[in-house]
Chain A
């Protein structure tokens, strides 16, 4: 099972969502997304949850890591 990493730090909305979408299209099982602000975290979470994914969020310093899986 491949794990696709998305580094969306420093990207403004809606880019983190669009990058996540591209990653999920390539790797529909598991994607891990790094973002550096709450808006991006909330938006990527909404996007993944709405597609039926489980989202686990951890805070890493200033960053958030979203583990997105089936």
Chain B
């Protein structure tokens, strides 16, 4: 894949029917529990392979760890990661660790895909329908979790969402036969949607009321518990997104919220959209939704429509 369309990973064609997907990602702890952090970081790193329609086959650990922390903590982080890699059906083949003041963990991942069946963020076509496979709000919740402002229910929802592999959503997309896909991570929903719109040469129309959102993040957004990344994301797409009048500020903030291990944004032809929704209903364990449609390229990359009665 060229760098031109900001795709999710590097692809190297090995033979006529086989291409390798190469990607890596690592970051500092988002939650206190080491095992949980390990599984979230691994799910996040594996996600880029799924976003391109691939199957993870091998992974290597990337570890930064301070000498002042107990080795048990590192062991638990690695165990969380290893279990997630196993769940993905890939092999963990070692890794590398260095000493650092703050712990960080992630994976370098290799996946395989048929070169003709690569999903890209440059394949959204006018007339397609957009489907998002995980709820938004994890960045806001992570910020609040650090300040101990989230109850058990909110914490559990956030953690389960982040640690959930995009494998089921990818499988549903491949089974339906789609071409356009990306995953939602640090640039937030609208950041990644912009990349898809510009990469595909189309305009995406977004329906905020249909967006799956972790409910607890709405009240926190209203309180101003919003990570700096959300404001950076907003500045980054300045001028490319048009919001209709009347869209609530907290809804806008959630659409810019940087996601950790977010869901897939899938562009599917209208005649296959219902089939994909049905497959997701069977397979996908997180809330998902049909959240917009693809139009011919207009002035803006994204048009966010006001149809927001669901969130008050």
Contact = CB atoms under 8 A, between A and B. Distances in A.
28 contacts: A13-B225, A14-B143, A14-B144, A14-B147, A14-B149, A14-B224, A14-B225, A15-B147, A17-B223, A17-B224, A18-B147, A37-B228, A39-B226, A39-B227, A39-B228, A39-B231, A42-B224, A42-B226, A43-B224, A43-B225, A46-B221, A46-B224, A46-B226, A46-B249, A46-B253, A47-B224, A50-B222, A50-B223
Given A14-B147, A14-B149, A18-B147, A46 B231 contact: no
Given A39-B226, A46-B224, A46-B253, 19 more contacts: A13-B143, A13-B225, A13-B227, A14-B146, A14-B147, A14-B224, A15-B147, A17-B225, A37-B228, A38-B231, A39-B228, A39-B231, A42-B226, A46-B222, A46-B223, A46-B226, A47-B223, A50-B222, A50-B224
A47 B222 CA distance: 6
Interface string A8-50: 0000011101100000000000000000011100111111001
Interface string B258-300: 0000000000000000000000000000000000000000000
Interface in A38-64: 38-39, 42-47, 50
A41 B143 CA distance: 16
Given A18-B147, A46-B249, A13 B223 contact: no
B134 to A, nearest CB: 23
Nearest to B253: A46
A44 B222 CA distance: 10
A42 B143 CA distance: 15
A17 B249 CA distance: 17
Contacts of A14: 143-144, 146-147, 149, 224-225
A6 B143 CA distance: 21
Contact of B224 (A37, A38, A44): A44
A39 B143 CA distance: 13
B223 A42 contact: no
Interface string B228-254: 100100000000000000000110010
Given A14-B143, A14-B149, A18-B147, A45 B224 contact: yes
B222 A43 contact: no
